[in-house]
């Protein structure tokens, strides 16, 4: 289950093996702004369900970037992979939302080297350790 703790932010050279899937509830423009193997959910298919996104990210050892609490809940129950970046900033204009995510993204990458869940808040990041799921190695 979820054992939460705040982790100090530090630099790391870690990069995921799999894809970064940006959920439909976030701007598609983030895919090009975040770089790497980032892809918006709409580029993967028309109206994919949360379950389909989860399974794809799980198979690829990827990350899901979302504003949706459902991915947090599923990570709590099943464990990683995938890792989840949960954007918890409330309702903002698109440009402001993108700016917050982009500004914090290098720190998010660093935290993902050690944890399965990173929460992006307007004024801080929180990193949470999540237990290993049945499909994870370790």
Least confident range of 14-18, 24-28, 46-50: 14-18
Question: CA dihedral defined by 22, 27, 38, 121, rounded to 10 degrees?
Answer: -70
Q: How far apart are CA 101 and CA 123, in angstroms?
A: 11
Q: How far apart are CA 83 and CA 54, in angstroms?
A: 10
Residue 108 lies in a domain: yes
pLDDT tens digit sequence for 34-92: 977 899 999 998 888 999 999 999 998 899 999 999 999 999 999 999 999 999 999 99
pLDDT tens digit sequence for 62-76: 999 999 999 999 999
If one counts the domains in the chain, the total is 1
Q: Which two tokens stand for residue 121?
A: 């808040």
Residue 136 lies in a domain: no
Pick the residue with more confidence: 72 or 7?
72
Residue 138 lies in a domain: no
pTM for this prediction: 0.83
Residue 122 lies in a domain: yes
Residue 105 lies in a domain: yes
Residue 113 lies in a domain: yes
Position 8 scores a pLDDT of: 35
Domain that holds residue 88: 2-8+17-130
């Amino acid at each position: 289950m979820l054992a939460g703790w705040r982790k100090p932010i530090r630099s790391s050279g870690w990069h995921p093996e799999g894809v970064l899937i940006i959920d439909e509830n976030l701007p598609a423009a983030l895919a090009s702004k975040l770089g790497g193997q980032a892809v918006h959910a709409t580029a993967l298919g028309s109206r994919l369900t949360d379950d389909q996104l989860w399974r794809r990210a799980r198979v690829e050892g990827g990350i899901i970037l979302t504003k949706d609490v459902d991915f947090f809940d599923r990570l709590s129950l099943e464990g990683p992979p995938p890792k989840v970046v949960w954007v918890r900033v409330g309702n903002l204009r698109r440009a402001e939302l993108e700016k917050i995510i982009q500004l914090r993204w290098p720190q998010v990458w660093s935290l993902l080297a050690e944890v399965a869940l990173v929460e992006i808040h307007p004024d801080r990041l929180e990193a949470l350790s999540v237990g290993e799921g049945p499909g994870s190695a370790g």
